[in-house]
Structure 1
């Protein structure tokens, strides 16, 4: 019986991630989540206490999964930026869910901050940097996410926006940008 309950929870979280990524917290519908998860609204309330608890759980699970899938590599931050880029290509719903959380439920992002704190500590143990480890992480995430967050009108100017070659070139641009930022940082640090 416990196995069925766990499977139901997983289906509900997967459906909630898709729903909230597509429609946000305000536009997400518990009824649609229950239907997609082959469950019912009563079970969602029993497991998660309601829509806000479900949203928070879906966000925490998505960020936990990203932290496990893309662990920091303090000795290769540029390569790590490429990995973050790849992760957002494979799982765009995680980035969308995170953006909705920042817009509609900023209090939901406080709990998963442990995920980022652990990454910042790992980066802090790397070579001394003039910027704080948190600043480095924020910058790397910003660069790695930029392609997914660009306005449709701007990205629509590309004739083949989804081609494998273009995606590989964008990934390389992310890696190169982080490499150059770290080189500039180290040069500034050695001049002080």
Structure 2
């Protein structure tokens, strides 16, 4: 009989994050259950607390991971903000849990201290926008953080809509939705 070889800690952590993604995207932090996450990850509650310290720690780690994956896959391109917004729209369309997690994070963790990894990423992006504004690549009609925020929100427009909004715009096909995002950011930056 072969000796038992436990899974690597990275593999257990990754399984917990994947299970947490599905649970928290569906039910949020408050509604999400550690027991369901552990079971879906073929793990146990003790492992959740071992790797993340708490349910909130797991949620925060998941939000940080999701933001990191998103902007590693779709890096900011200050030379082409409309194209960046279109690619970001595509990412959020392909990965709907990312926007659901962001919504739960705003609703349930809004009064918590900012997540350092997310704040650091956003700060670096704002700095890039500011450099592009100073170089004359981007207009200076908005502060860098505001311009970036507007671009991010326009990219998320279709994935953050309410059911009522969706009912009124259902006829807009996916390819047109993407083009609307690109056109809106083009108008915003005047390119």
**2:151 maps to what in 1?**
140
Q: Which stretches in structure 2 are left out of the alignment for 5+ residues?
A: none
**Cα distance in 1, alignment partners of residues 8 and 20 from structure 2:** 18
TM-score of the superposition, structure 1-length normalised?
A: 0.87
Please identify runs of 4+ aligned residues in structure 1 that moved more than 2 A: 108-111, 156-161
Distance 1:50 1:110, change over 3 A: closer
TM-score of the superposition, structure 2-length normalised?
A: 0.88
Q: Which stretches in structure 1 are left out of the alignment for 5+ residues?
A: 187-192
Answering whether residue 62 of structure 2 is matched by residue 51 of structure 1, we say no
Answering whether residue 181 of structure 2 is matched by residue 174 of structure 1, we say yes
Greater fraction of residues in helix? 1
SS in 1 for 2:157: helix
**Cα distance in 2, alignment partners of residues 87 and 43 from structure 1:** 31
Answering whether residue 128 of structure 2 is matched by residue 122 of structure 1, we say yes
Contact 2:64 2:115 in 1 (8 A): no
Contact 2:15 2:41 in 1 (8 A): yes
Query: Alpha-carbon deviations, 1:148-175, whole Å to 9, x = none?
Result: 11111331345567xxxx1110100000
Aligned-pair CA distance for 1:123: 1.6
Aligned-pair CA distance for 1:108: 5.7
**1:92 maps to what in 2?**
96
Query: Alpha-carbon deviations, 1:115-173, whole Å to 9, x = none?
Result: 11111111222125221111111001111111111111331345567xxxx11101000
